[in-house]
Amino acid sequence: MLNRLDLRGHGTDVANRLPRPTLDGSEPVEAVREIISDVRSKGDEALLELTAKFDGVELASVRVAQAELDAALDNISSGLREALEASVASVDLFHQHQLRAPEVIDRDGVVINAYQKPIQRAGLYVPGGRAEYPSTVVMTAVPAKVAGVGSVALCVPPNRTTGKVADSVLAAAKLSGVDEVYAVGGAQAIAAMAYGTKSIPPVDVIAGPGNIYVALAKQMVAGDVGVAAAFAGPSEVVVVADETAVPEFAAIDVMLQAEHGPDGLAWLITWDEAVADAVCEAGNALLATAVRADEIRSTLAEGGYVALVDDEAAALAVVDAIAPEHLELQVADAESLAARVNNAGAIFCGNLAPASLGDYIIGPSHVLPTYGSARFASALTVGDFMKDHHVVTVNTDGISNFGPHVITLAEAEGLDSHAESIRLRMKAGDGK
C-alpha cells in the first residue's frame, strides 16, 4: 500500500533524505498564467469557455439563482440538513472565540484605539466537479461571517453530469450565510474573484482549498487580492504510530486523506517495524473494499510512504520537515508528543481522534496549510477576513514625551522633514 523508506541509522538527520513535492518547473504553471490572462481580458466569455473546456458543461450564466439555494434545503435529506446545521454551529462557536475586543492604550499623552475591522467582500473557493464538498463551504463561509464580512461569494465547479452545483453544496451555502454562488471552478474562478468580471464583482480576500491549478492561481494573484491562510492545496496526512496504535485505525486514517485524489501526501511514521507491517496489511485489506479505491491507489503510488525511524525524536524530525496539513499521533502519551511538534496544520491525538472529525464537525476550519507552508502558516481563522486598525490621538504631553526621540531618530536617518514636523509642534506648544 505504501512505499517504504528506511531512515533508521540517521537519527534526526533526515530532512534532506525525504521525498518532497515541488512546484518548480511544474507544467501547470504556464497553463494557469494563460487562464488568468484569458479571464482578465475576456471576463465572463472566458469563464463560460473554460467551464465548457474543463468541466464539460455549457452554461448560459455562471450565477446560481437564489431560488436554487432556497430549494436545495428542501431537496437534501433531513439527516444531511441536521449534520450541516451541527457543523455550522460547531464552526461558529469555535470561531466566535477568535474575535478580539477593542483595546485602548493610554500613556504619556498618547491614546491608541486598536481594533479589528472585517474586509468588505470575501471570495470562497470550494472544489467540485466529480465530488461534493459541502463541509468546505461551512469551513470557509462561517469564519468569514463570524468576522463580519458584509458580502460573501462562493465559486464551485458545476457537476460534470448534471451541469449544476450540487444541492448539498447549495444547502451548505444557504445555512452558512453565503450571499452569492457561481458555477465556475479552477484557476478561472480564482482569476474572476481576484479581478472581477461582469457577473462576478472582485473580492478583497480569497479563501479555500483546491487542486494544484487553484493553489497556483492563488499564488499568482496574491498581492492584487488577499489570499487567506497558506498554500491550501491537495490533502496531506502524516500518521505517527507506535505499538499502542490500532493497525486498522492507522491504516484508514492514512487512506482517508488519500481518497481526495492525486497530488496529495499520505505518510505513516514509526520506529517499530512490526507496526509498519501490521498497518500496511490492514491497509491492503481496507483498500480492497474502498469505494474510492482508484483515487487512493493513485495518491499512494506517488505520495504514500511508510517511514521507519530510530525513535520518537527522529519521527518528530520527519514531521517537522514535512510540515503536514494533518498530523495524527497514535502513540502513548500523544499530547506530550504534540507539544514537541513545531510544524503541522492540525494535530489529532490518540486512537480516537481521526482527522475526519476535524474535516467535518469539531470546530476549527479544515482549510489548512499544505506543501510545507505549515512552517509559517496555520488554519483559516477569522483573522484572515479582518484587518487591524489603530487610531492615534496625541496631546501636548505626548509631543513633549515622545517628540525628542522622534527628532533624534529622524535625524539619524537623514529625514529632516520628519524631525521638523515635531519641532514645529514643540515650538507651538511652547508658545514660540
- Express each pLDDT in 270-312 by its tens digit: 999 999 999 999 999 999 999 888 888 888 988 899 999 999 9
The arithmetic mean of pLDDT across residues 93-106, rounded, is 96
Going by C-alpha positions, the residue among 336, 335, 326 that lies closest to residue 365 is 326
Q: Where along the chain do its domains lie?
A: 3-25+233-375, 43-106+116-228, 395-429
273 close to 317: Cβ distance less than 8 angstroms: no
Cα 412–Cα 413–Cα 418 angle in degrees, nearest 5 = 100
DSSP 195-226: H--SSS---SEEE----HHHHHHHHHHBTTBE
User: Is residue 23 over pLDDT 70?
Assistant: no
What is the predicted pLDDT for the residue at 24? 54
Of 241, 234, 235, 252, nearest in space to 289 by CA: 252
Largest CA distance in the chain: 89
CATH match of 3-25+233-375 with 3.50.30.30:
no
Is it the case that residue 262 has pLDDT exceeding 60?
A: yes
Distance CA 385, CA 118 (A): 6
DSSP letters, 21-49, are ---TT-THHHHHHHHHHHHHHHTHHHHHH
Q: Which CATH number fits domain 43-106+116-228: 3.40.50.1980, 3.40.50.12280, 3.40.50.300, 3.30.470.20?
A: 3.40.50.1980
271: nearest Cα among 244, 298, 242, 235: 242
How confident is the prediction for the chain on average, in pLDDT? 93
User: Is 325 part of the annotated catalytic residue set?
Assistant: yes
3-state SS, residue 432: coil
Task: Kindly list the distances between the CA atom of residue 415 and the CA atoms of 399, 401, 420, in Å, as whole numbers in the listed order.
Answer: 18, 20, 9
Percent of the chain with pLDDT over 90: 83
For residues 36-43, give the mean pLDDT.
97
Q: Give all strands of the β-sheet with 304-308 in edge-to-edge order.
A: 3-6, 304-308, 265-270, 236-241, 326-330, 346-349
Beta carbons of 114 and 103 less than 8 angstroms apart: yes
Q: Which of 180, 325, 328, 366 is catalytic?
A: 325
**What does the pLDDT read at residue 28?**
85
State the DSSP string of 282-320. HHHHHHTT-TTHHHHHHHHHHHEEEEE-SSHHHHHHHHH
User: Residue 243 to residues 10, 111, 239, 271, 347: CA-CA distances in angstroms?
Assistant: 22, 58, 13, 9, 19
Smallest CA-to-CA distance from 95 within 140, 126, 50, 128 is with: 140
Least confident of 261-265, 310-314, 411-415: 261-265
**pLDDT tens digits for 317-373?**
999 999 999 999 999 999 999 999 999 999 999 999 999 999 999 999 999 998 888
Establish whether domains 3-25+233-375 and 43-106+116-228 are of one fold: yes
Q: What is the mean pLDDT of residues 48-67?
A: 95
> Which of these is catalytic: 180, 260, 312, 326?
326
pLDDT band at 7 (very low <50, low <70, confident <90, very high): very high
Residues comprising the chain, all counted? 432
* Across 51-69, average pLDDT: 94
Q: Is the model's pLDDT at 229 over the cut of 80? A: no
Q: Which residue has the cell 492514512?
A: 254
Query: What average pLDDT does the segment 106-131 reach?
Result: 94
The answer to whether 380 touches 411, Cβ cutoff 8 Å, is: no
Instruction: Specify whether the CB–CB gap between 250 and 282 falls below 8 A.
Output: yes
* 190 Cβ contact partners less than 8 Å away, ≥ 6 residues apart: 36, 125, 155, 206, 210, 214, 217, 218, 221
